[in-house]
Amino acid sequence: MVKVKFFALLRSKHNVKELSVKPGTIEEVMNQILEAYPHIPRHELEQAVMFVNGKKTMHLSRQGEKVNEGDTVVLTHFVGGG
């Protein structure tokens, strides 16, 4: 399984914290999240960033990339203001 942790806006706005999903492509992972939490708009997920095992940054817009069994990922949105 893949442990998905929600951070910042996703957690605040949609009251979600953590979910376990099956490994697969980003699209497959996204579909499982949306199935579990149908109140999250798809476009908000598509704009999110995924940090995989504290090593790799993946953009959810790249739906073909894969998340592997045993991965822990944090889903959030980046900020760029200053």
Partner 1 sequence: MRDTFYANRGVLDDKTCDAIREANVVVVGLGGLGGHLANALVRMGVRKLTLIDPDTYVQSNLNRQLFSGKDTIGKRKVDVVEQALKAIMDDLEIVTYAERVEAVDDAVFHQADVVFDGVDDPRVKRALERRAGETNTLMVHGAIGGWYGQVAVLKPPSTLLASLYEDKEGGLERDLRCPTFTLGVISYWMVAAWAKHVLKHPSAKVNQLVMIDLLNDACEIMVEGTSADG
Q: By CB under 8 A, name the binding residues for partner 1.
A: 5, 7-9, 11-12, 49, 51, 54-55, 57, 59, 74, 76-82
Which residue pairs, CB below 8 angstroms and at least 24 apart, start in 47-53? 47/77, 48/10, 48/75, 48/76, 48/77, 49/75, 49/76, 49/77, 49/78, 50/26, 50/74, 50/75, 51/76
Smallest distance from partner 1 to CB 37, Å = 17
Smallest distance from partner 1 to CB 36, Å = 20
Nearer to partner 1, 23 or 59 (CB): 59
Nearer to partner 1, 20 or 61 (CB): 61
